[in-house]
Structure 1
Amino acid sequence: MPIPKTLMLLLGLILLSAVYAFGQVDTTAGGGEKKKLSFKDPEDGAIDLSQFLLEANGVLPVIIPITEPAVGYGGGAALLYFHKSKKKYKSYVPPSVSGIAGFVTENKTWGAGVFHRHIFGENRVRTMTAVFKPDVRIDYYGNDNPILEENPVGINLDSWVILQKAEVRLGESKFYAGASYTYFKTDVSFDTIPGQPIINEILKRLNSNSTISSIKPTFTYDSRDNAFTPFKGINAQVSLNYSAKWLGSSDDFTTLNTSFLGYLPVTSRLNSAWRFEGNYLLGEAPFYAYPFLSLRGIPALRYQSDNAMLGETEWTYNVYNRWSVLAFFGGGKAFPDFSDFGQVDWAYTVGTGFRYKVARLLGIHMGADFALGNGEEFAFYIVFGTSWLR
């Protein structure tokens, strides 16, 4: 389901992109005195946002760059409110955050909404609540249709999204259990094709309203050394997205999602990362909700079918102090049935990028990626933390 996934990506960018704010921020010390935050690390004198991320609270403006090739270049803005914790904990606990956000891209895709992310206790329970209005314009490649695969048609998804998510840590283990509920109502319309009256009449009849109402239980193992920019550990997740008419959905279908992210240091300067993902549809879903390949350099919905599997590896080398360069390669297939796997062509991506350790105390890196999908689709991405948002 591309739109809720886009919504989660946008909300993740908002929560991770507080570092884009400019100017100086004051916090109140214990005696009521104002303490000016420094954007330089006292250890090496480099630009560093650790103190800002750890101590800032209050209202914060945020700039959000968008470089997704499926919707074109664009940008957004948000106002975030950091809720000050009333309790002190032995370990760092991220603040609860409320905010409003909006974005627009060059192909007239836009969206706006509100959200609240709450942390309970010593980071043992995490919740996310969001209401969003996305109006997305994107090319549709036909879901295994040989004609549309070469001649995609534009579609417009004028939608409303309600999201509620909760996750709890199981005891003192590295296992987490959670669930989410998504309500997604959209008005689907197809663009017309010049000089094709018969096809346009067929497309006109496909215009319709569609509703997805789904619950998604999730089970996760997470041993990463850092949630933002990990260099060691594993994040493995299994989830089942269940949409049913008795929940208010237009269709009955289920999607099984599996994900594995592994981070393995090779030397003190060289680090490897590995990603494997699979999404499998059971039942008949709306055409926009079918699994698709999500790889850097490949537009969303470009490769879509009943099943989608991909693998990707990324290698990072620390060249000097806080600066690193990286290279990545990945590939995958979207296929209707496992018996057809060998007959479907591979989609692949290759690229490079760089990172700067922007917050030493939190181990957070920031930079950009440059990707080439299938040797023809170029895209670049601004990255805060990891490219594999989880």
Structure 2
Amino acid sequence: MRYRPCGFSIAIAGWLAAPCVLAQEAAPLPEAAGPPAPAEPVKKESKFHRAFFDETDGKLDFSNFMAKGGFFPMPVIITEPAVDGGFGVVAQFITVPKDNPKRVTRRMLGAVKTGNGSYGYGYFQSGSAFGDRVSYKFGVGRGKVTLKAYPEILPSGLEYTNKYDYGALASVRLHLADPRFSLGPLFDFRKLHSRIDLDIEDLPERFSDFERKLKTGALGFGVHFDNRDNAMTPTQGYNVYAEAKFNDGAFGSDRDFQIYDVHGYGFQKLSPAWRLGAKVEVDAIRGHYPVYFASSINLRGVEARRYQGETAVSTEVEVTRQISPRWALLGFAGLGFTDAGGARIFDDSGAKIAGGAGFRYRIARKLGLDAGIDVAYGPSGAVFYLQFGHAWAFNLD
């Protein structure tokens, strides 16, 4: 509903005018008037108000607080049904350069626990260096993740747990003469123990990956293009990249396999009030890979890791209607499918369709950061998501 200020403004104007009228009616004769009353001092805003409310419209806003850097505690509410929801806390340290607010440095230390017993804790950092000529990301952590796989012979699902002794991922990208283009190496090292959460005698060989210890070590390379107007909640521009990671015994991996990702995201303003977003993600895995590393559909409304195969394609379109400088409504729809290829336990998924709607509030105007809620409906029913930044932010640069 569009806000109409006319009646409210008239009421306020009348309330402000009323004391003036009464003062004229009850005012003493001019010769009896005394000296004017001293003006009341202007009340200064508190530090709390300056930190959490915008100076231009007085609305709740975290821009000033976040721009100062330092500690920013952020609760994490997990709504993913694949892990039965959950909760966590992330201590976020943000640095925003005054001359280039797009180059935000983030340092995050956090822990989460979910309803099905999964947990994790770790540290993540992203930013730029050498005068923005280099962008980097790295993270380290430990944890335990319980999920379900859906092999073709067990359509009801096979629950398994991966306990990670460690996981370490990193990327470094050198920006070329045209800073929209960048390229550089990728690193991915993990040690885990996988087990099935059922007592099954004489486990078939093709399920043996679920009952063993495993080390993976990968080096890779990525090529990226990025001209978005904002890294957190883009409204214009494109982010396209292709990455390949090679797990090999030479890098400490117990298995030789390859992971390939080609992702494209586009954002376009159709008018001052309407904008369009679209994504295409193609994820593929080849070689002697652990079955639980198989690619999967990634869409709002589709349970995480529900549909897996050697190749997964996920596409989604999002339309946003800006109803005020702070508030926006959006709708989205997606299509995904997997190709089992030579996968040992999965079957082709067929086309999976999902969609829904949501809203956003501009929680940090100066940083262009939105937060809100999405409700999506897919093959397994309705799912809701809490969003901080764009819904696709996890896979964007």
Shift of 1:301: 1.6
Query: How far, CA to CA, are the matches of 2:138 and 2:352 in structure 1?
Result: 35
Q: In 1, are the aligned partners of 2:227 and 2:239 still within 8 Å (CA)?
A: yes
Q: Secondary structure at the match of 1:294?
A: coil
> Does 1:139 find its partner at 2:151?
no
State the shift of 1:372 in Å. 1.2
Q: Relative to 1, partners in 2 of residues 1:318 and 1:25: Cα closer, same or farther, differing over 3 Å?
A: same
The match for 1:188 is 194
Corresponding position of 1:384: 388
The SS at the match of 1:38 is helix
Structure 2 segments unaligned to the other structure (5+ residues) = 1-45
Letter in 1 for 2:76: I
Q: Cα 1:313–1:96, aligned 2, differ >3 Å: closer, same or farther? A: closer
**Which residue type is aligned with residue 262 of structure 1?**
G
- Corresponding position of 2:81: 69
Instruction: Say whether the 8 Å CA contact 1:256–1:280 is kept in structure 2.
Output: yes
SS in structure 2 opposite 1:361? helix
In structure 2, the residue matched to 1:259 is 263
- Matched residue, 2:27: none
Rg comparison, structure with higher value: 2
Once the two structures are TM-superposed, the CA of residue 134 in structure 1 deviates from its matched residue by: 1.8
Does the CA contact (< 8 Å) of 1:190 and 1:203 recur in 2?
no
Letter in 2 for 1:361: K
Cα distance between partner residues in 1 of 2:289 and 2:211 = 16
Q: Is 1:128–2:137 an aligned residue pair?
A: yes
Quick one: which of 170, 173, 177 aligns to 1:167? 173
Q: Distance in 2 between matches of 1:188 and 1:328?
A: 36
Report the TM-score when normalising by structure 2.
0.79
In the alignment, the residues of structure 1 paired with residue 139 and residue 244 of structure 2 have an alpha-carbon distance, to the nearest angstrom, of 20
Q: Give structure 1 stretches of 5+ with no counterpart.
A: 1-23, 27-35
For the residues of structure 2 that align with 1:202 and 1:120, how far apart are their CA atoms? 46
Residues 166 and 204 from structure 1, CA distance in 2 versus in 1: closer, same or farther, beyond 3 angstroms?
closer
C-alpha distance in 2 between matches for 1:318 and 1:202 = 51
Once the two structures are overlaid, the 10-residue window that deviates more, 152-161 or 281-290, is 281-290
Matched, 1:369 2:382: no
The number of equivalent residue pairs is: 344
Counterpart-to-counterpart distance in 2, 1:242 and 1:126: 22
Percent of aligned pairs with the same amino acid: 26
- Check the 8 A contact 1:316/1:327 in 2, yes or no: yes
Change in Cα spacing, 1:39 to 1:277, as seen in structure 2 (3 Å) is same
The aligned residue for residue 52 of structure 1 is 65
SS of the residue aligned with 1:246?
Answer: helix
**SS of aligned partner of 2:116:** coil
1:280 Cα deviation from its structure 2 partner: 2.1
CA gap 1:168/1:294 in 2 versus in 1, 3 angstroms: same
2:256 is aligned with 1:244 = no
List per-residue Cα deviations over 1:7-46 (Å, max 9, x = no partner). Answer: xxxxxxxxxxxxxxxxx978xxxxxxxxx84322222222
